[in-house]
Structure 1
Amino acid sequence: MSGYGSMLAPGMLVRHPGQPDWGRGQVQSNIGGKVTVNFEHAGKVVIDIARVELDLVVET
């Protein structure tokens, strides 16, 4: 698990490294290590952050 996984908060933008076709996702919730993310091309997905390290999207 990444060091920042527990710090993911609603509104943050992420990408799933194993599913680049899903596009960017916006974190909806982070409860007990389960993060719900609304992806552009995959809809809402619940991700176990102990198994998948999401990539933060930093917009400049």
Structure 2
Amino acid sequence: MAFGMVPGAWVRLPGRPDWGVGQIQSAVDNRVTVMFEHGGKQLIRTDVVNLEATEPPTSPGA
């Protein structure tokens, strides 16, 4: 498992910027389940694609 790929961490998938920011729900070996803002729940294989760590989204008016 990649460093920092733990439940609760915020990530982006560079190849799918339209999905927005996602929060990791689970991480087992190279399989990471992420709930993205606009892409829904996705199972990502980190041996195939790289997730980028990011900050949590900000709420409007914050």
TM-score of the alignment, normalized to the shorter chain, above 0.5 = yes
Higher helix share: 1
Percent sequence identity over matched residues?
45
CA distance in 2, matches of 1:7, 1:31: 13
Matched, 1:39 2:40: no
CA distance, structure 2, for counterparts of residue 48 and residue 5 of structure 1 = 11
Instruction: Give 1:6 deviation, angstroms.
Output: 5.0
Q: How many residues align?
A: 56
Residue 32 of structure 1, CA deviation: 2.2
Segments of 4+ in structure 1 off by > 6 A? none
Task: Establish whether residue 22 from structure 1 lines up as the match of residue 56 from structure 2.
Answer: no
Q: What amino acid does structure 1 have at the position aligned with 2:24?
A: V
Aligned to 2:6: 9
Q: Secondary structure at the match of 1:21?
A: helix
Structural RMSD (CA): 1.6
Structure 2 gaps of 5+ residues are: 57-62
- Quick one: which of 21, 25, 48 aligns to 2:45? 48
